[in-house]
A and B are shown apart, each in its own frame.
Chain A
């Protein structure tokens, strides 16, 4: 099974070389190359990848700034020319540290340290649902989310994002599967990509509703059901 990855690297020749290593390995599907942190962050906010090849010093923000801002923890291989970052790399639990330039063999050695995507997928699922809470597995931990803390759940392909007022959690699951598992008293599916906490709606418009400033679409198929559930006078 191939792993999805992105390359975040401001030096073009290094990015091209890395891209070539990824292709040659036959184990990686490169979803994109970003020259700076903001572009990568935008991509990672709506896409999930298994692995990031990450430079540290880039214009504007560092690779560690990126890791601080993403809502989940993909595997990370740092690519830098400064071994001084080894301590930070350890702190951020990165898988390996490639000092540029590195050989293809060294690249493969780093890749061997990444557990297979399949192993990750079986791990990141909802394990328990209760009346007022659910447990999800995210980043290798079991996390309890109280229904009242969840604002909405958004589909991200084979993953879903649980959004609370404080944090976002990404786990391997689907909206279709969750629709059956979450409390029907608190949650309702409003669109093929969204399940929302009905108590968190601040206002509703023609084709959308707002929760904590985020506009969420309501599909025609779900609109009647949503309106029925609201306490409309």
Chain B
């Protein structure tokens, strides 16, 4: 009986929606690695803008900063994080000041940090996966 070569499959972190990822990138894993790398390269400045806006007490800048970073998570298949960003953006739109949304800010900040860790970890796993041709 001859052996068959099955296409390599990468199992993404359970928090990443694999249908979204395959819908966007099919199974082009080197490209997904590239996209993850780009995301990580720009994550800290974009996340920094969120933190800075909060620290400066500007609810308008906070709304803009969260709006900017929000689609990142869609591109990463982190749909729950993207939806939470949308919710937080809406909360910013009606908040009079950042003190009105302190609790929500802490939640979203933790969520973004967790998302960054997931992306980082998946990027390293993908890199190893792509480096191994077998």
Contact = CB atoms under 8 A, between A and B. Distances in A.
7 contacts: A11-B46, A13-B75, A14-B75, A16-B35, A17-B35, A81-B86, A101-B71
Contact of B71 (A11, A16, A20): A11
A13 B38 contact: yes
A14 B71 contact: yes
A57 B24 contact: no
A10 B20 CA distance: 22
B64 interface: yes
A104 B41 CA distance: 24
B31 interface: yes
Nearest to A80: B71
B24 A101 contact: yes
A17 B72 contact: no
A101 B72 CA distance: 8
B81 interface: no
Tell me if A's interface is mostly helix, strand, loop or mixed: loop
Given A11-B68, A17-B24, A57-B64, A100 B38 contact: no
A25 interface: no
B70 A20 contact: no
A146 interface: no
B67 interface: yes
Interface in B1-55: 20, 23-24, 31, 34-35, 38-39, 41-42, 46
Contact of A11 (B23, B41, B72, B86): B72
Given A11-B72, A17-B75, 9 more contacts: A11-B46, A13-B35, A13-B38, A14-B71, A57-B67, A100-B75, A101-B75, A103-B23, A104-B24
A127 interface: no
Most chain B beta-carbon contacts within 10 A, residue among A11, A13, A17, A103 = A13
